[in-house]
Amino acid sequence: MVDEAACRKSKMTQPLIIANWKMNPPDSKEAFDLASEIKKGIEGLEVEVVLCPPFVYIPQLLPAKTLLIGAQDCSWEQEGPFTGEISPQMLKNLGCTHVILGHSERRQLGETLEMVNKKAKAALAVGLLPVVCIGEEIEKEMNIVSRDIKNLILAYEPSWAISTSGGRAVSPEDMGNVAALMKRFIPSDTPILYGGSVDSNNVKSFLGPDLAQGVLVGAASLNAKEFIQLVKIAAMQ
């Protein structure tokens, strides 16, 4: 069953900025301080910001009302004998709104497109918004991950563009071409984000009606000053 209210897509009037903290920072005090500084720095801005910390920090960050909290992965099962897994229902019960799925760093660990499709359906079934990462083989990936699903948020994030793998951001022209290609598979109001080496210097170039409606940020989201600056620039779009 899909929770229609919770599954309504982000209003595309405001850019959506998702911070993927990956396996950082190393302790909970640092995580709390980082979230608190970001929260203070972005108050009042016309933008939707979702922090996706490691699972273990989620409960302590949820009271930060200005920020939405998401997870970096979830199971396709809601409960049961699945050692080490975290279910969409558990994340929803905590108060999470979004979940990143199919990140290239998880796909390198063996996650398949079919698994991503099942996870996205399980997330939607409890009213969590799946943010599905799409990389290099766009048509093939879109065909499988979006099969039988309407309410996705998509992130174009080729693995070669990720900063920690020595990457460089795609050009805005490429982003526009990819967005047009993705739209052949999905309803026209599906939000499309861009991820890969996004920072405060380049964020503006990816945002626009025919480009991306938001960004998925890795390394730059771990530096409060840089991330706040990035969000401020995005909010001026």
The footprint of ligand 13P on this chain (CB under 6 A) covers a number of residues equal to 15
Cα dist from 232 to 81, 201, 204, 217, whole Å? 44, 12, 10, 14
Whether 98 is catalytic: no
- Sequence-distant (6+) residues with CB within 8 A of 120 are 101, 130, 132, 145, 149, 152
Residue 157 CB, nearest approach to ligand 13P (Å): 6
Residue 143 CB, nearest approach to ligand 13P (Å): 22
**By CB under 6 A, what part of segment 9-68 binds ligand 13P?**
20
**By CB under 6 A, what part of segment 157-196 binds ligand 13P?**
157, 162-164, 195-196
Catalytic residue among 48, 98, 103, 141: 103
Which residue in the block uniquely carries the two structure tokens 């996650």?
111
Residue 3 CB, nearest approach to ligand 13P (Å): 25
Distance of CA 33 to the CA centre of its chain: 21
Residue 66 CB, nearest approach to ligand 13P (Å): 21
* Of 141, 165, 168, the residue nearest 155 (C-alpha): 141
217 contributes a contact to ligand 13P by CB under 6 A: yes
First to last CA, the chain: 36
Whether 114 is catalytic: no
Choose the binding region for ligand 13P from 87-95, 107-115, 156-164, 180-188 (rule: CB under 6 A).
156-164
Per CB under 6 A, the list member of 103, 116, 172, 192 interacting with ligand 13P is: 103
Torsion of CA 76, 78, 79, 85, to 10 degrees: 40
**Cis preceding-peptide flag for 59 (omega within 30 of 0):** no
Interface contacts to ligand 13P, rule CB under 6 A:
20, 103, 157, 162-164, 195-198, 216-220
Report, as residue numbers or ranges, the catalytic residues: 103, 157
